[in-house]
C-alpha cells in the first residue's frame, strides 16, 4: 500500500537510538521517542474520531509534545492546524468556524474560555500543556497519550494531500488558511537540508515558536531529515540561549534574536567559535545587524526568504557571498521572477516589482477560498507573493517591502523601505518604520516612526535635516515620531498596521499646510 509521503520521507533515515532533542526540563528525546510519542498521539486522535483529511487545530504552549502532536496528526492522515499563542478567543472562534476542525487542542490554562467556543461548534476540545513531572498532568491529550499504544499503522497520504493548514499572519485583512501539501513540505525540507548542509552531526538551537512555518517546518523538518538533534527551548530566553549555544552547531532565528544577542555582553566570539551556521528569516535583517554580528563573532548570518504560502523561496549561498540586505538566490527547483504589479508583465533585472514564485514549494491554494486563490496566481501558475523586490545584476534578490505597504502620495509611489534606509543612515538612528496614512490633499502622507540608538538623542528636525538632500520631497515624511521601539509580532515583523491605525486620523481635519509641523 502507498505510504504517507511526509512522515515516511522525514523518517526514512531514522536511527532510533540517536538523540533527537535536549529539553529545557533536562529530559532527552531519542528518535525512538519521536516514533513512540507520535504514534501515541496518532492513536488518540483516531480514537477521538479524527479521519484522514480532518483538521486538528492546536493552540498549545511550545513543548516537545506539541511538536510530536504535529507528527501524530500527519501520521493519522489529518491536517495539522497550528494557531499563534497570542490569538484571543474571538480570533480563535474565527479559525474554528473557518477550518471546522474535528478536534481543537488548547492550553489547559485556557480550557474554561475555549470550552464554550468548541461546544457551540460541536468540536471536541482537548488540552495539552508543558510537561512538568510524572506526577502532574500535562493536559487531557497528554494523559490519553500516556495510555495509548506506541505503535500505529501510519495512514497513507499522497503527495498532493494536505498535511497542514497554516493561517497567514493577516497583516492586511483577514487571515486565510494556506493549504500545504505533503509534497510541499517534504520537498522544501529536502532542498533546505541539502542547501544548508544539515547532517546527523548537527545540533540546532530551536528557540522559535512552533505555530509558524519557520519553527515548525523549516527548523524541525530539516533536523528530522538530517537525523540531527535539537536544543529545544521554550522561547528565546537569553540565559537559556547562551547556555545552549556551546552544545549547538547551528541556529535559526528571526532578526530580533540576533539584535538581542548583540545587546548581550556575554555573547562573545569564543562562545560561538565552534558554530557552523546562523540563519535569519521571517523579517528583514538590517545590513547593520549583519555587519555587527560578523564583527563580533566572525560569522556571516545566512539570510533567507520565505512565507507561509510557499515555505522557503530564496537563500543566500552556503559557500558563496552572503550579501547583507539581500535574500540571495532562488532555491534549487524554485523559480522567482519580478513582475509589474498591475499588468503582470515580467520585468528585467534591476527593476522593482512584485515577487512571483513557482515550484514544488508553492501551496495548493487558500482553504475554501477559490476566489482569493485565483486572484493570487497568474495564469501560468506563478504565485503573486505581494512582496516587492528587485534582482541585481548578479542575481541576488532583495526585498523592498510589501506591495500593500506601498504609499501613493500625491500620485507618486513611495516605497517605505527606501525612506527607512535613508533614515537609518542618520547618525544616532537604530531603526525606523515608514507608513502611509490618509491625507486630505495627497491621498496618503508618509509618516516615519524612528527609534534612536541607546543613549542617542534624535529629534524629528534632525531626521528631516538628514534626509532632505537625499530623498525627493514627495518621499519625505510629513510627520516624524521618535519612539523607544517599533511594534512587532512574535516573528519579529514590524506590525505596520498598528502604526497605520495609530496615525490614521493624524492629518484628517487639519487645515491645509499645517502638515509641515513635524513634531
The nearer residue to ligand AMP, 44 or 490, going by C-beta atoms, is 490
> Could you tell me which of 357, 309, 350, 353 has the C-alpha nearest to residue 331?
357
Decide: 398 and 326 in contact? Cβ < 8 Å: yes
The nearer residue to ligand AMP, 24 or 253, going by C-beta atoms, is 253
**Rounded Cα–Cα distance for residues 337 and 358 (Å):** 9
> Could you tell me which of 82, 61, 54 has the C-alpha nearest to residue 165?
82
Long-range contacts of 263-271 (CB under 8 A, 24+ apart): 264/238, 266/242, 267/242, 267/296, 268/296, 269/296, 269/297, 269/298, 271/242, 271/245, 271/246
The nearer residue to ligand AMP, 43 or 280, going by C-beta atoms, is 280
Q: Pairing between strand 329-330 and 335-339?
A: unpaired
The nearer residue to ligand AMP, 187 or 282, going by C-beta atoms, is 282
- The grid cell for 137 is 498532568
Beta-carbon count within 10 A of 505 CB: 11
How near is the Cβ of 105 to ligand AMP at its closest, in Å? 22
How near is the Cβ of 355 to ligand AMP at its closest, in Å? 8
Beta-carbon count within 10 A of 330 CB: 20
The nearer residue to ligand AMP, 38 or 213, going by C-beta atoms, is 213
**Rounded Cα–Cα distance for residues 136 and 148 (Å):** 18
How near is the Cβ of 314 to ligand AMP at its closest, in Å? 8
How far is it between the farthest Cα atoms of the chain? 74
The nearer residue to ligand AMP, 50 or 250, going by C-beta atoms, is 250
Please give the residue ranges that form the binding site for ligand AMP (CB under 6 A): 168-169, 213, 281-284, 303, 305-308, 327, 385, 387, 399, 402, 491
H-helix segments, 347-415: 370-375
How near is the Cβ of 4 to ligand AMP at its closest, in Å? 25
What's the distance, CA 155 to chain centroid?
29
How near is the Cβ of 427 to ligand AMP at its closest, in Å? 25
The nearer residue to ligand AMP, 35 or 327, going by C-beta atoms, is 327
How near is the Cβ of 491 to ligand AMP at its closest, in Å? 6
How near is the Cβ of 301 to ligand AMP at its closest, in Å? 10
The nearer residue to ligand AMP, 139 or 324, going by C-beta atoms, is 324
The nearer residue to ligand AMP, 36 or 387, going by C-beta atoms, is 387
How near is the Cβ of 1 to ligand AMP at its closest, in Å? 35
Phi, psi angle pair for 177, to nearest 5°: -85, 120
- Can you spell out the DSSP letters for 10-78? HHTT--TTSEEEE-TTS-EEEHHHHHHHHHHHHHHHHHTT--TT-EEEEE--S-HHHHHHHHHHHHTT-
Decide: 10 and 225 in contact? Cβ < 8 Å: yes
The nearer residue to ligand AMP, 208 or 450, going by C-beta atoms, is 208
DSSP E strands, 39-176: 55-59, 79-82, 103-106, 124-127, 162-167
The nearer residue to ligand AMP, 32 or 168, going by C-beta atoms, is 168
> Could you tell me which of 396, 388, 404, 450 has the C-alpha nearest to residue 423?
450
How near is the Cβ of 214 to ligand AMP at its closest, in Å? 7
How near is the Cβ of 399 to ligand AMP at its closest, in Å? 4
How near is the Cβ of 509 to ligand AMP at its closest, in Å? 33
**Rounded Cα–Cα distance for residues 3 and 264 (Å):** 48
Integer angstrom CA distances of residue 396 from 44, 213, 284, 320, 329: 47, 23, 15, 12, 5
Amino acid at each position: 500500500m502507498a505510504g504517507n509521503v511526509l512522515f515516511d520521507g522525514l523518517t526514512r533515515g531514522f536511527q532510533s537510538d540517536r538523540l533527537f532533542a535536549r529539553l529545557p526540563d533536562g529530559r532527552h528525546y531519542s528518535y525512538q521517542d519521536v516514533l513512540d510519542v507520535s504514534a501515541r498521539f496518532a492513536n488518540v486522535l483516531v480514537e477521538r474520531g479524527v479521519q484522514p483529511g480532518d483538521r486538528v487545530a492546536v493552540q498549545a504552549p511550545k513543548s516537545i509534545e506539541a511538536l510530536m502532536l504535529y507528527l501524530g496528526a500527519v501520521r493519522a492522515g489529518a491536517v495539522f492546524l497550528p494557531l499563534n499563542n497570542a490569538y484571543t478567543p474571538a480570533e480563535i472562534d474565527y479559525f474554528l468556524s473557518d477550518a471546522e476542525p474535528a478536534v481543537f487542542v488548547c492550553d489547559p490554562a485556557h480550557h474554561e474560555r475555549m470550552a464554550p467556543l468548541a461546544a457551540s461548534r460541536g468540536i471536541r476540545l482537548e488540552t495539552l500543556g508543558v510537561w512538568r513531572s510524572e506526577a502532574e498532568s500535562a493536559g487531557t491529550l497528554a494523559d490519553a497519550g500516556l495510555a495509548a499504544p506506541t505503535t500505529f499503522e501510519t495512514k497513507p497520504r499522497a503527495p498532493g494531500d494536505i498535511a497542514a493548514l497554516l493561517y497567514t499572519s493577516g497583516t492586511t485583512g483577514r487571515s486565510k488558511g494556506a493549504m500545504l501539501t505533503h509534497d510541499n513540505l517534504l520537498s522544501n525540507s529536502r532542498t533546505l537540508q541539502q542547501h544548508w548542509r544539515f547532517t546527523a552531526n548537527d545540533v540546532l538551537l530551536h528557540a522559535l515558536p512552533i505555530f509558524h512555518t519557520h519553527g515548525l517546518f523549516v527548523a524541525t523538518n530539516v533536523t528530522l531529515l538530517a537525523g540531527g538533534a535539537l536544543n529545544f527551548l521554550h522561547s528565546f530566553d537569553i540565559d537559556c540561549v547562551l547556555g545552549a549555544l556551546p552544545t549547538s552547531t547551528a541556529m535559526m532565528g528571526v532578526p530580533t534574536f540576533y539584535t538581542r544577542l548583540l545587546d548581550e555582553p556575554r555573547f562573545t566570539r569564543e562562545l560561538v567559535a565552534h558554530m557552523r551556521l546562523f540563519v535569519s528569516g521571517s523579517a528583514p535583517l538590517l545590513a547593520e545587524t549583519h555587519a555587527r554580528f560578523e564583527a563580533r563573532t566572525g560569522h556571516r548570518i545566512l539570510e533567507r526568504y520565505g512565507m507561509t504560502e510557499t515555505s522557503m523561496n530564496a537563500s543566500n549561498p552556503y559557500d558563496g557571498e552572503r550579501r547583507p540586505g539581500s535574500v540571495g538566490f532562488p532555491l534549487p527547483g524554485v523559480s522567482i521572477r519580478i513582475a509589474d504589479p498591475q499588468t503582470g508583465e515580467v520585468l528585467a533585472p534591476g527593476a522593482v516589482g512584485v515577487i512571483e514564485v513557482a515550484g514544488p514549494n508553492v501551496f495548493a491554494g487558500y482553504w475554501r477560498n477559490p476566489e482569493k486563490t485565483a486572484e493570487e496566481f497568474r495564469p501560468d501558475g506563478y504565485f503573486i507573493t505581494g512582496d516587492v523586490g528587485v534582482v541585481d545584476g548578479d542575481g541576488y534578490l532583495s526585498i523592498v517591502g510589501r506591495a500593500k505597504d506601498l504609499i501613493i502620495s500625491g500620485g507618486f509611489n513611495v516605497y517605505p523601505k527606501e525612506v527607512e534606509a535613508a533614515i537609518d543612515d542618520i547618525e544616532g538612528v537604530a531603526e525606523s518604520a515608514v507608513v502611509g496614512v490618509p491625507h486630505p490633499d495627497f491621498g496618503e502622507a508618509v509618516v516615519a516612526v524612528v527609534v534612536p540608538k541607546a543613549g542617542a538623542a534624535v529629534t524629528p528636525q534632525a531626521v528631516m535635516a538628514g534626509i532632505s538632500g537625499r530623498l525627493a520631497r514627495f518621499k519625505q515624511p510629513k510627520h516624524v515620531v521618535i519612539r523607544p521601539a517599533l511594534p512587532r509580532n512574535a516573528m519579529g515583523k514590524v506590525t505596520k498596521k498598528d502604526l497605520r491605525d495609530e496615525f490614521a486620523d493624524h492629518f484628517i481635519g487639519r487645515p491645509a499646510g499645517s502638515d509641515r509641523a513635524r513634531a
